[in-house]
Amino acid sequence: MKRLLQIVSITLVIAMSMPTPASAADHDEQKAVLVTGASSGIGLAIAKKLAANGFYVYAGARKPADLEMLDAIGNISSVRLDVTRHEEIDAAVEFVKSQGRGLYGVVNNAGVAAYLPMNDVPEEDIDWVFDVNVYGPYRVNKAFAPMLIESGGRTTLIGSISGYLSGRYSGTYSMSKFATEAYTDAYAVEMADHSVHVSIIEPGGYKSRIREKVVQHTLDQMKDAGLEPTDEQKQQFDAMVASNEGLKEPDEVAEAALHVMTAEKPKRRYMVTPNLEQATLTISAALGKVAQLNRDQPYEFSRQQLIEMLDEALAAEY
């Protein structure tokens, strides 16, 4: 808790908005979707995309200014929601129920990151990242599961290609995204018994406030430790924040979320990258793990056998 209170970029100053419910006829015509972490970046893009395409969106946020901004958008009602707080999730469930639309979908977008060497990252930072990125979707899906089962709806997670790629300084974030991959596969099988589709969207590098938040979090940590960033570190931090401006807007990620909610047969996985390079890196990383699992192992498969397995996987429906 102390660590969370020290993270200025995610300070919990929030307010619940309670708009007047629409008519019963409107409720019958619109499917409702909850989007967590909808105040900016990918979450805001998804909320706007769904709202512009016939869905009524309950957009989760924490700061009063963000809640007010979301309420000003058509077909959107803001919902005070911190995915690390059970009481706020429970309140969100009651709020959505009170609106009379039911709930067709959930987009678990809320996420945070910490970038430090594994030997240096504080354990509380790992707890924080997992609390939001892993336990958050688990809590939200579990709380809204009865409504999704009733509607035969859909839930998706915003994962990352970092669920396949990991490297220097990205271990904590990647650990959380690898975990959501496992959660997705288990939950998809379990919820299929209730006619609820589960998927995961894995974006590459798109414009987002997460880089700004990472820098702020690191600066807060240094301040707590009585440290001042060096000139070199300041340049690195400025470069990280500035790099965000050169990235593509997350419109393609929003399109994937729309497909999840509208397709007759949504995919299990959506890899959405801004360029071919990131897509190549991701697929190569996945295949590299296959090669490592196979090479010089007690049960090693031939190249032809691997090709046959790949053909079967390409032909399978997920």
CA 46 – CA 37 distance, rounded (Å): 10
Whether 219 and 149 share a structural domain: yes
Domain holding 195, by residue range, is 2-274
Q: What is the pLDDT of residue 135?
A: 98
Whether 230 and 290 share a structural domain: no
Q: Who contacts 239 (Cβ-Cβ below 8 Å, separation ≥6)?
A: none
Q: 3-class DSSP state for residue 146?
A: helix
Active-site annotation holder among 58, 104, 164, 173: 173
Whether 146 and 294 share a structural domain: no
Q: What is the pLDDT of residue 20?
A: 37
Q: What is the pLDDT of residue 47?
A: 98
Whether 122 and 258 share a structural domain: yes
Q: 3-class DSSP state for residue 279?
A: helix
Catalytic annotation on 58? no
- Express each pLDDT in 4-44 by its tens digit: 333 333 333 223 333 333 433 345 579 999 999 999 999 99
Whether 263 and 286 share a structural domain: no
- Express each pLDDT in 215-237 by its tens digit: 777 777 667 767 677 777 677 77
Tell me which residues of the chain have a pLDDT lower than 50.
Answer: 1-26
Whether 208 and 239 share a structural domain: yes
Q: What is the pLDDT of residue 295?
A: 97
Q: What is the pLDDT of residue 234?
A: 72
Q: Is the C-alpha dihedral spanning 8, 111, 18, 50 positive or negative?
A: positive
Pick the last residue of a domain from 241, 259, 274: 274
Whether 131 and 202 share a structural domain: yes
Domain count, the chain: 2
What is the C-alpha radius of gyration for the chain, rounded to an integer number of angstroms?
Answer: 20
CA 202 – CA 51 distance, rounded (Å): 22
Whether 257 and 286 share a structural domain: no
Q: Are 59 and 107 in contact (CB under 8 A)?
A: no
Whether 117 and 217 share a structural domain: yes
Q: What is the pLDDT of residue 22?
A: 41
- Find the distance separating the first CA and the last CA of the chain, reported in whole Å: 39
Tokens of 182: 């496992």
Whether 246 and 106 share a structural domain: yes
Q: What is the pLDDT of residue 219?
A: 74
**What pTM, to 2 d.p., does this model score?**
0.84
Whether 32 and 154 share a structural domain: yes
Whether 81 and 129 share a structural domain: yes
Q: Are 256 and 270 in contact (CB under 8 A)?
A: yes
Q: What is the pLDDT of residue 169?
A: 85
Task: Find the CATH number of the domain harbouring 198.
Answer: 3.40.50.720
Q: What is the pLDDT of residue 27?
A: 54
